[in-house]
Chains A and B, each alone.
Chain A
Amino acid sequence: MQATDIASVILDIISTIAPDEDLSDVKPDVRLRDQLDLDSMDFLDIVMELRKRYGVEVPEEDYPKLASLDSCVEYLGPKLADK
């Protein structure tokens, strides 16, 4: 999976769990929490969806690595390389 694909996967998951959020202008280098109304329950759902859709495991101590789209791409890149 390419970097742009990973970003769109994350945005697609966010649109599923938070359908009210406007995702048209999410800045990749800014923390998702700072631009969207997401809390720890929502981040759990992002992790659960990654597991459900791609079989990717994100241990709890790695949740901070999903802070922004850029950090998601960096962290998930190797895990999604062959997906």
Chain B
Amino acid sequence: MSHYDAIVIGAGMSGLAAAIRLAMFDKRVLVVERHNIPGGLNSYYHKARRPFDVGLHAMTNYAPKGARGAPLTKLLRQLRIPWEALQLRPQHHSEVRFPGVTLRFTNDFEVLRHEVHRAFPAAADRFDRFVALVLAYDDVSLDAPQVPARPVLEEQLGDPLLVEMLFCPLMLYGSAVENDMEFGQFCTMFKSIFVQGMARPEGGVRTLIKLLRDKLTELGGELRFKRNVKRILTRDGRVAGVELEKVTGADAHVAPLPAGEDPVVLAPVVLSSIGYLETLGITEGVEVPPPEVYPPGRLGYMESILVLDREPRDLGIDPTIVFFNETDRFDYRAPDDLVDLRSGVICLTNNFAHERPLPEGLLRITSLASWDGWRALARPEPYAGAKDAWRAKQVEVVRRHFPPFEDHVVFTDTFTPTTVWHFTRHLRGAIYGAPNKVKSGLTPVAGLFLCGTDQGFLGIVGAMLSGISIANARVLQGAPA
């Protein structure tokens, strides 16, 4: 039987970051990952000989090298990765588009402040006071009270449209709660997107994953792919280790491990990044809370990637990211139909300040989608036909925002909530996890801790800081040598 000081379940951003911290301080750490590559919700794939990113549109929390107190600076320090290695390329500009009003923003917060003052002159002073409140809020505390954001925004800002326009990008980029956010999460997202801003590593998510993977390996951490955790083992209310099985083939069936590989791996500490319900569901001797106590996430997405034969800019499309809503009120919830086209995100990957132009144009359109609806469709049909039909509708939506581009589309690919579930096993394909976050990282089992999506630090930088914070607070701090 093999023994480790710690086992990390899931080689996504939070799991890799947690494992790096533990390995840095001489813990023997094993990361087990179900998929055959790392990254989790922010990963990559090849199709038609083209490399694609999944998840990452942009890294939020942009900060210049050495920016004091910035989350990115803290993250890089904790991982001991130099700023230059990320090769961050800042956005051009992004937009929040509602009927009749557009707010532009860049990585300079004053641009957004000016835009809000211009579009909402009566709310200008209230906006400035609200920003001061958000900046002062301690949103990274592991034991902060959880407060709904909507009443705070409505009271502070007084303008319902401004409230919706601020919510729109922040919800679409991270809220696991329908039509609201927890106020601490709102503050985290507001700072990470509006105040700090967005950038993309020159090579996309691959650049970041390679850095994390290389760092972990260099520190002696171990990674095992295509290994599913069948059970989290416990003994007298304490975690004892995990039992593994092998994931085989494209359909991700599970099978016993090859002869010679012991399925039981023991460790006094297990950090799980796979979600709260997902974790408890495989833990020995633990009752999974019912949905009325701990509801699963409901927010899933359908995303289509359109490959263009030229740069979007050559077609007159110059924003980096557009968050749009086409009705009076932004309705952020699981749609009744398969997809909700009334709002969404359009990402123009080329429109970051890359040093080398990307080989082709890339346009991604992301819309809220229904897990239940997509799950009910049989494979291959009518599922495949529904994907094509809804992608065509997404293209019509994009067309309402930009000059003609349809004739330049040379390849498309689409994912739905069931695709996300297939590759990550996050319940209901809910990329932002469950609505109730477990900030402390604690579970009913001693030694079993949660990091990642359901711990609740958002975005890619947030996910890595989640892994780091839980590794620090629950394993390194005060732990005997």
Residues of A within 8 A of B (CB): 16-20, 37, 39, 41-42, 44-45, 48, 51-52, 55, 57, 59-60
Best-buried of A16, A20, A55 by chain B (most CB within 10 Å): A20
User: Which residue from B68, B82, B83, B480 sits with its C-beta under 8 Å from A37?
Assistant: B68
Contact code string B58-73 (vs A, CB < 8 Å = 1, else 0): 0000000110110001
B77 A44 Cβ-Cβ under 8 A? no
Instruction: Kindly provide the distance from the CB of A1 to the nearest chain B CB, expressed in whole angstroms.
Output: 19
Once the chains are docked, how many angstroms separate the CA of A17 from the CA of B24? 12
A48 B78 Cβ-Cβ under 8 A? no
Once the chains are docked, how many angstroms separate the CA of A39 from the CA of B66? 14
Chain A residues within 8 Å of B83, by CB? 20
Q: Is the interface of B mostly helix, strand, loop or mixed?
A: loop
With A41-B472, A44-B477, A60-B478 already in contact, the answer to whether A19 and B82 are too (CB < 8 A) is yes
Instruction: Kindly provide the distance from the CB of B338 to the nearest chain A CB, expressed in whole angstroms.
Output: 44
Chain B residues within 8 Å of A51, by CB? 25, 481
User: Which residue from B66, B80, B468 sits with its C-beta under 8 Å from A17?
Assistant: B80
Chain A residues within 8 Å of B468, by CB? 41
Judge if B26 is at the interface, Cβ distance under 8 Å.
yes
Chain B residues within 8 Å of A45, by CB? 77-78
Contact code string B76-106 (vs A, CB < 8 Å = 1, else 0): 0110101100000000000000000000000
Instruction: Kindly provide the distance from the CB of A51 to the nearest chain B CB, expressed in whole angstroms.
Output: 5
- 7 more contacts with CB within 8 A, not counting A18-B77, A52-B26, A59-B478, are A16-B80, A39-B69, A41-B74, A41-B77, A44-B472, A45-B78, A51-B481
Once the chains are docked, how many angstroms separate the CA of A27 from the CA of B398? 58
Once the chains are docked, how many angstroms separate the CA of A41 from the CA of B21? 11
Best-buried of A17, A37, A60 by chain B (most CB within 10 Å): A37
Q: Which 3 A-B pairs have the closest CB atoms?
A: A20-B66, A37-B68, A48-B25
Chain B residues within 8 Å of A17, by CB? 77, 80
For residue A57, which residue of chain B has the nearest CB? B481
Interface size class of B (residues with CB under 8 A): 20 to 34
With A20-B65, A37-B68, A48-B25 already in contact, the answer to whether A42 and B481 are too (CB < 8 A) is no
A52 B478 Cβ-Cβ under 8 A? no
Once the chains are docked, how many angstroms separate the CA of A39 from the CA of B68? 10
Q: Is the interface of A mostly helix, strand, loop or mixed?
A: helix
Instruction: Kindly provide the distance from the CB of A83 to the nearest chain B CB, expressed in whole angstroms.
Output: 15
B25 A52 Cβ-Cβ under 8 A? yes
Once the chains are docked, how many angstroms separate the CA of A19 from the CA of B80? 9
A to B CB contacts below 8 Å, 8 in the list:
A19-B82, A20-B66, A37-B69, A41-B78, A48-B25, A59-B478, A60-B477, A60-B478
Chain A residues within 8 Å of B472, by CB? 41, 44
Instruction: Kindly provide the distance from the CB of A44 to the nearest chain B CB, expressed in whole angstroms.
Output: 6
Judge if B476 is at the interface, Cβ distance under 8 Å.
yes
Instruction: Kindly provide the distance from the CB of B286 to the nearest chain A CB, expressed in whole angstroms.
Output: 29
Instruction: Kindly provide the distance from the CB of B6 to the nearest chain A CB, expressed in whole angstroms.
Output: 15
Chain B residues within 8 Å of A39, by CB? 69, 74
Once the chains are docked, how many angstroms separate the CA of A18 from the CA of B468? 16
With A51-B481, A59-B478 already in contact, the answer to whether A42 and B77 are too (CB < 8 A) is yes
Best-buried of A41, A42, A59 by chain B (most CB within 10 Å): A41
A44 B476 Cβ-Cβ under 8 A? yes
Chain B residues within 8 Å of A52, by CB? 25-26
Once the chains are docked, how many angstroms separate the CA of A16 from the CA of B24? 12
Once the chains are docked, how many angstroms separate the CA of A10 from the CA of B181? 42
Best-buried of B24, B69, B77, B82 by chain A (most CB within 10 Å): B77
For residue A16, which residue of chain B has the nearest CB? B80
For residue B78, which residue of chain A has the nearest CB? A41
Instruction: Kindly provide the distance from the CB of A32 to the nearest chain B CB, expressed in whole angstroms.
Output: 14
For residue A40, which residue of chain B has the nearest CB? B472
Once the chains are docked, how many angstroms separate the CA of A68 from the CA of B468? 25
Chain B residues within 8 Å of A57, by CB? 480-481
User: Which residue from B69, B82, B476 sits with its C-beta under 8 Å from A48?
Assistant: B476
Chain B residues within 8 Å of A48, by CB? 24-25, 476
Chain A residues within 8 Å of B24, by CB? 48
Chain B residues within 8 Å of A55, by CB? 481
For residue B75, which residue of chain A has the nearest CB? A41
Chain B residues within 8 Å of A18, by CB? 77
Chain A residues within 8 Å of B476, by CB? 44, 48
Once the chains are docked, how many angstroms separate the CA of A44 from the CA of B25? 11
Once the chains are docked, how many angstroms separate the CA of A39 from the CA of B77? 11
For residue B70, which residue of chain A has the nearest CB? A37
Once the chains are docked, how many angstroms separate the CA of A45 from the CA of B478? 12
Once the chains are docked, how many angstroms separate the CA of A11 from the CA of B472? 22
For residue A55, which residue of chain B has the nearest CB? B481
Once the chains are docked, how many angstroms separate the CA of A70 from the CA of B478? 24
Chain A residues within 8 Å of B66, by CB? 20
